Chain A
Amino acid sequence: RKEVEQDPGPFNVPEGATVAFNCTYSNSASQSFFWYRQDCRKEPKLLMSVYSSGNEDGRFTAQLNRASQYISLLIRDSKLSDSATYLCVVNILDSSASKIIFGSGTRLSIRP
């Protein structure tokens, strides 16, 4: 089983739609959680951190459920520029060393 699993996608939605991505992680030693965005042939860029209390940044809302080991990202009023691959990222503390594991990513395509 993969340590971080995401919706496979791709998601193809019209501009203005609301879209939600899900992610589950298997390692209970996971400490911190992030959503990254990666455009084609570019490096990943941090979109937002994810907290148990939930956090919102403009049109983006992230939620974490530690009991279910589940992370979500909600994008409201989607824009064409939101088209990208969204990576669920988990920071695991393993044998006193910290490492980051990426999900396989969910591709989002916004159509006019």
Chain B
Amino acid sequence: GAVVSQHPSRVICKSGTSVKIECRSLDFQATTMFWYRQFPKQSLMLMATSNEGSKATYEQGVEKDKFLINHASLTLSTLTVTSAHPEDSSFYICSARVGEGGHEQYFGPGTRLTVT
């Protein structure tokens, strides 16, 4: 299957700092990538849809100025958590859709963010 990587896999940062998470499709081009957040014992919640070359579409309740998404190429999307707070500590997972009309998504391994 298609491979999606994420970096870093784990990051600990201090409150008030910014953290950038990268999501790459390794063996395919992804015009659309998705960013999810998962709190302990909860399901994945879609944060935003990242489209190559255009602005991301954010889900209701997700602050676009806090979670900056850049999808500058067909293989890379980045999520920057700005001015992180402890409540932003979570498991962030990206996924990429294969092909324009594909419904399946392939997930990155996730990034565990801890804000102290």
Contact = CB atoms under 8 A, between A and B. Distances in A.
B79 interface: no
A103 B108 contact: no
In this complex, the interface size class of chain B, counting residues with CB under 8 Å from chain A, is 20 to 34
Interface of A: 31-32, 34, 41-46, 49, 87, 91, 97-105
B110 A98 contact: no
A34 B42 contact: no
Nearest to A4: B43
B91 A99 contact: no
Given A31-B103, A41-B91, A49-B104, A101 B46 contact: yes
B83 interface: no
B29 interface: no
A49 B1 CA distance: 14
B105 interface: yes
15 contacts: A31-B103, A32-B103, A34-B103, A42-B109, A43-B93, A43-B110, A44-B107, A46-B104, A87-B44, A91-B103, A97-B49, A100-B105, A103-B43, A104-B43, A105-B43
Interface in B46-96: 46, 49, 57, 91, 93
B95 to A, nearest CB: 8
A44 B91 contact: no
Contacts of A91: 103
A98 B43 contact: no
- Which 4 residue pairs of A and B lie closest in terms of their CB atoms, listed nearest first? A43-B107, A104-B43, A32-B103, A102-B44
B110 A42 contact: yes
B16 to A, nearest CB: 27
Contacts of A97: 49, 57
Nearest to B36: A102
A34 B36 CA distance: 17
B47 to A, nearest CB: 11
Given A42-B109, A98-B103, A104 B34 contact: no
A41 to B, nearest CB: 7
Contacts of B49: 97, 99
